[in-house]
Amino acid sequence: MRNLSGEEWRIQQIAERVGTILPLGEVQIRKGIGDDTAVVWVGNQTLLLTVDMLVEGIHFRLDWTDAYRLGWKSLAVNLSDIGAMGGQPVLALLSMAMPENLNPLAPLSASDPTCHSERSEESQLGHYRDPSPSARGDKGNETERGQGGEVHSPLPLGEGSGVRAEMGEGQGSEVPLPTPHSPLPIPLHEWLTAFADGFRDCAQTYHTALVGGDTNRSDKLIIDVVVLGVLEGEPVLRSGAQVGDWILVTGMLGGSRAGLMRLMRGEFHDPEAIEAHLKPIPRVREGQLLRQAGVSAMMDISDGVASDLPKLLRASGVGAVVYPHRVPIHPSAQRYAEEVGENPALFALQGGEDYELLVCAPPDLARKLLQTLPAETGTPLTWIGVIEAGDSLWLEDELGKRTPFELSGWSHF
C-alpha cells in the first residue's frame, strides 16, 4: 500500500497531538479524525459532524463558475459526507471570508496568465494531456482536484447554454451555465444574492437548515461550511471492508474531471461536463438505503477512486483488485478521454469531485443492491472490484492480467 499523501500526513500529525482529548458529560466520541464525518453519541442520539473549506484559486475560480452553483456546491460537498455515513443532514453553519471588493467576473482570456492552470504531464495526479500552447496561458495557480475535481468559481450568469439544475429530488429551476465572457460586471450584492440562492436551494432539497456562521475579510474568497447530521443506530465507516466484499460505486465517474479539463482549455461546448463539475449531486438518500441494507464500508468519492479507495483499504486493513473494464464512465469523460488519447476508464478513476459513493458489501448483498438501489433511487450502482487479503492494490483486465494500481487522484499538497 502506498505511503500517506501530504494531506493525510498533516491530518495525522494534528490527530496524534489533539485528537485524544475527551469531552465532558454524556458526549462520547464514536469516531473522531479519519472518516467522512466525526461520529458522536449524545445520550442515545448519534450525531455526525463534518466540515469542508473551499478556497478561491484552489477549489474554485471566480471566472469559471457562477455564484449560484458555487453556493450549491459549498453545501453539497458536506452533504455528500453525511450521505457516505448513511445519515440525514439537519443543520449547517456557513462562514465566508472575502475581499472588500470581490470581482467575480474577470473575463477569460488566452492572454490572461491565470486563465488556465496546468500541472506537469506526470504529476502526483496521474497522467493527462496538457492543453496545447495555443489554448493555454502561462502557468497559474493549480486549481484542479484529482485531474478534474476542484475548480469552481463564479462565471457570469450570462447567455450560456442553460442546463436544468438537477436538485436531488426533482426540484429546481433552470440556471444558465457560465459563459467565457461577461459584458458587464455583477455588483457584489447581486453575486451574494445568487450565492445564497444556490445554498438555499441545496439546503431545501436535502432538508438542511442554516443556523449560523461567520464573516470576515480576506485577500481571497474562502467558504467554510459545517454540517450536522443524525441517524439511528450505527453509521457506515471506512474501516468495515471485509475480504471477499465486492467494491461498488454509485453513478458514473469522471464527469467532474472532464468538466474541469474543459474549463482549463477554455472549452464550453460540453455543458453536461461543466455542470457535473460545478454542481455535484450528493448521494444522501442512496447512502441511507445502503446503510439500512447493511453494507460493510462506505465513503464518498471526493478525491477520485485512485485516492479514496486506498484510504478505505488502509482504514480496513485490506487490499483490493479493481476491474477497469467495469468502471462506469460518465459520457463526458468518455468523450474527453477519447479526444486527448487517454484510456477513459483510467481517466475516470483519477477524477476528483464526482461525489459518488464508494461501497463495500458481501457478494450476496451486493448482487441484491445492484438491482434494488437503482430501482428505488434512479441512481446506477456498478460492481468494479473485490476486497482481498493483504495490503496490495491491483488493476485486472478482462483477461485476468494484473498490474499494480499506480494511479493517483487529487492531493491538496
Read off the pLDDT of residues 261-315 as tens digits, 9 standing for 90 and up: 999 999 999 999 999 999 999 999 999 999 999 999 999 999 999 999 999 999 9
Question: How large is the average pLDDT for residues 335-350?
Answer: 97
Q: Where are the domains of the chain?
A: 6-231, 238-404
The residue with greater pLDDT, 363 or 155, is 363
Read off the pLDDT of residues 203-231 as tens digits, 9 standing for 90 and up: 999 999 999 999 999 999 999 999 999 99
The residue with greater pLDDT, 54 or 122, is 54
CB burial of residue 197 (10 Å; 0-12, 13-18, 19+)? middle
The residue with greater pLDDT, 88 or 100, is 88
**Band of residue 47 on the pLDDT scale cut at 50, 70, 90:** very high
Q: List the single range of 38-52, 68-82, 324-338 with lowest mean pLDDT.
A: 38-52
For 294, other C-beta atoms within 10 Å of its C-beta total 11
CATH code for the domain defined by 6-231: 3.30.1330.10
Residues contacting 409, CB < 8 A, separation 6+: 125, 126, 146, 147, 149, 303, 304, 305, 306, 307, 308, 349, 350, 351, 352
User: Which residue matches cell numbers 478561491?
Assistant: 56
Beta bridge mates, 329: 253
Average pLDDT, the chain: 81
Over 50: is that where the pLDDT of 65 sits?
yes
CATH code for the domain defined by 238-404: 3.90.650.10
Copy the grid coordinates of residue 254: 469522471
User: Which residue matches cell numbers 450584492?
Assistant: 189
Over 70: is that where the pLDDT of 9 sits?
no
User: Which residue matches cell numbers 452533504?
Assistant: 79
Read off the pLDDT of residues 22-36 as tens digits, 9 standing for 90 and up: 555 678 888 888 888
Would the CA dihedral through 153, 158, 162, 168 be positive or negative? Answer: positive
What pLDDT is recorded for position 6? 60
Question: How large is the average pLDDT for residues 233-245?
Answer: 96
Buried b (16+ CB within 10 A) or exposed e, 24-35: eeeeeeebeebb
Over 50: is that where the pLDDT of 51 sits?
yes
Question: How large is the average pLDDT for residues 124-149?
Answer: 32
What pLDDT is recorded for position 113? 29
- With a pLDDT cut of 70, the percent of the chain lying above it is 73
User: Which residue matches cell numbers 442520539?
Assistant: 45
What pLDDT is recorded for position 218? 92
The torsion angles phi and psi of 148, rounded to 5 degrees, stand at 140, 45
Question: How large is the average pLDDT for residues 75-104?
Answer: 92
Give the CA-trace dihedral at 312, 317, 320, 326, to 10 degrees. -30
Over 80: is that where the pLDDT of 176 sits?
no
The residue with greater pLDDT, 254 or 10, is 254
Over 50: is that where the pLDDT of 137 sits?
no
**Band of residue 177 on the pLDDT scale cut at 50, 70, 90:** confident
